[in-house]
């Protein structure tokens, strides 16, 4: 199903925003090559990625344990590694990619297909 998100001008390049499309919570990112959407919570310990840091390599870093995900594909680029010792928890919480959805821009509006 297709959902309207916001005006594209309301999401400047290099920024992200937590949003909701129907019952789905997501984060929309504006990268240099377009707009992307991922699930709203980190797949490690379910912390909000709306407060995550967008890195120069087009990844988002979880603010809690520093897991990194490719915003475009959802792939794990680095699993949780902070603070030292969190790797013990990783035995139970194995690597899991983020779910992603396509975002389109039409007439100055952003839409996501869930």
Query: What pLDDT score does 45 carry?
Result: 83
CATH topology of domain 2-113: Rieske Iron-sulfur Protein (2.102.10)
Banded pLDDT at 28 (limits 50, 70, 90): very high
50 has a pLDDT exceeding 90: yes
Q: What is the pLDDT of residues 66-75, one digit of tens each?
A: 999 999 999 9
Q: Note if the pTM is more than 0.75.
A: yes
- Cα–Cα distance, 98 to 95 (Å, whole number): 10
Average pLDDT of the chain to the nearest whole number: 93
Check whether 100 has a pLDDT greater than 90.
yes
């Amino acid at each position: 199903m297709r959902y309207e998100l916001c005006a594209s001008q309301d999401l400047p390049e290099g920024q992200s925003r937590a949003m909701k499309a129907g019952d789905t919570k997501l984060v929309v990112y504006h990268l240099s090559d377009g707009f992307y959407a991922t699930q709203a919570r980190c797949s490690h310990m379910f912390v909000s990625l709306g407060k995550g840091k967008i890195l120069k390599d087009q990844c988002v870093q979880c603010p809690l344990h520093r897991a990194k995900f490719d915003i475009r594909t959802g792939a794990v680029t680095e699993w949780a590694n902070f603070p030292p010792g969190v790797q013990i928890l990783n035995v139970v919480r194995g690597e899991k990619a983020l779910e992603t959805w396509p975002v389109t821009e039409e007439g100055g509006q952003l839409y996501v297909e869930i």
